[in-house]
Amino acid sequence: MELYLDLVSQPCRSVFLFAKVAGIPFEFKPVDLAAGHHFSEEFGKISILRKVPVMKDGSFILTESVAILKYMAQKYSSSVADNWYPAGLQQRACVNEYLAWQHTNLRLHGSKVFLLRSLFPIIMGSEAPKEKMDAALEDLKQSLNQLEEKFLQNRSFIVGDKISLADLVAIVEIMQPVGSGLDVFEGRPKLIAWRERVKKALGEKLFDEAHAAIMNASSLPQKMMQDKSKLEMLKPRQAEQILQKATSPIFNLLSMALVYHPEESFLIRRSDMIIWR
């Protein structure tokens, strides 16, 4: 099994962590999104979507992190502990419920904060406007509240007393804005305690290994500035117009590579990162 990953990406981290902690054998295939490796001819032969993560199991190729996580859990069900993706109908439904919810909630809002705090200044050459940043932070706050009140409640983990794929996907998304220097755990003792249980279940060394790149997100400007011609592609003509689009209902932040489409005046996803329409 080959896994094509960039650990700056939250979905890639979830796939990497699960394969590692579950003892699933795989070959790590690094894809540097900031360097544009996903646009290479070689990667295009693996996935025409040009997104990560990608799993290649023999001749079978699968994209989308949630699909990959479920595939691995079910393929190796004889050796993977049941708590990761429970066989019980209701427990599995609860895992699936969280995985469905998070796409347009914690994932969307945590990624938006990361974008505005870490990437917007690189692309636009200035800080994001305060009102846009404040709105993004409020959305993230509401998602974190829902995580605590709806999904975690008073349990040790999202689905009972043991870690599951739901917890794994949740923690990698929360760590994305943390990588921008924002302490999202401040004033949230329940969430802090849950984070520590998740880290212990995964192993702190493995957790830190997976998050080393995002916790060093300050290196992104230098990497992106190495090729200024690529950086120019990211600059829209109307920054305010882009910001307005960023708060529209169909804004979907899914990765880190942006391309400006001059004819249409919008940013469009070119990897696993973002749609601005």
Question: What DSSP element (H or E) covers 29?
Answer: strand 27-30
Q: What are the backbone dihedrals phi and psi of residue 266, each rounded to the nearest 5 degrees, phi first? A: -150, 160
Longest distance between any two alpha carbons in the chain, whole Å? 54
Mean pLDDT of all residues in 224-252: 45
**Which pLDDT score, from 0 to 100, does residue 222 have?**
56
pLDDT above 60 (res 242)? no
Q: Beta-carbon neighbour count of residue 210 at 10 Å?
A: 23
**Which pLDDT score, from 0 to 100, does residue 258 have?**
37
**Which pLDDT score, from 0 to 100, does residue 248 have?**
41
* Residue of 207, 206, 208, 276 lying closest to 247 (CA atoms): 276
* Residue of 124, 123, 66 lying closest to 254 (CA atoms): 66
Question: What DSSP element (H or E) covers 204?
Answer: helix 204-211
- The answer, as to whether pTM is greater than 0.85, is no
Contact in structure between 173 and 107 (CB atoms under 8 Å)? yes
Contact in structure between 258 and 227 (CB atoms under 8 Å)? no
Point out the least confidently predicted range of 12-16, 207-211, 255-259: 255-259
**Which pLDDT score, from 0 to 100, does residue 225 have?**
52
What are 4-48's pLDDT values in tens digits?
999 999 999 999 999 999 999 999 999 998 888 999 999 999 999
**Which pLDDT score, from 0 to 100, does residue 232 have?**
52
| Angle at alpha carbon of residue 257, lines to 256 and 263, rounded to 5° | 135
**Which pLDDT score, from 0 to 100, does residue 226 have?**
56
What are 48-80's pLDDT values in tens digits?
999 999 999 999 999 999 999 999 999 999 999
**Which pLDDT score, from 0 to 100, does residue 219 have?**
64
Residues of the chain with pLDDT > 70, as a percent, come to 78
Mean pLDDT of all residues in 236-252: 40
**Which pLDDT score, from 0 to 100, does residue 218 have?**
67
Q: Say which DSSP state 127 is in.
A: P
Contacts of 1 (CB under 8 A, 6+ apart): 24, 25, 26, 27, 55, 56, 57
65: its two tokens: 């992190």
Q: What are the backbone dihedrals phi and psi of residue 257, each rounded to the nearest 5 degrees, phi first? A: -110, 125
**Which pLDDT score, from 0 to 100, does residue 273 have?**
37
What are 124-180's pLDDT values in tens digits?
888 999 999 999 999 999 999 999 999 999 999 999 999 999 999 999 999 999 999
**Alpha-carbon gap, residue 180 to 158, rounded angstroms:** 25
Instruction: Please give the mean pLDDT across all residues of the chain.
Output: 84
Q: DSSP for 48-100?
A: TT--S-EEEETTEEEESHHHHHHHHHHHTTTTS-GGGS-SSHHHHHHHHHHHH
**Which pLDDT score, from 0 to 100, does residue 268 have?**
31
Question: What DSSP element (H or E) covers 241?
Answer: helix 239-246
Please report the beta strands in the chain, taking only residues with DSSP state E, as ranges in sequence order: 2-5, 27-30, 54-57, 60-63, 252-253, 258-261, 266-269, 274-275
pLDDT above 60 (res 250)? no
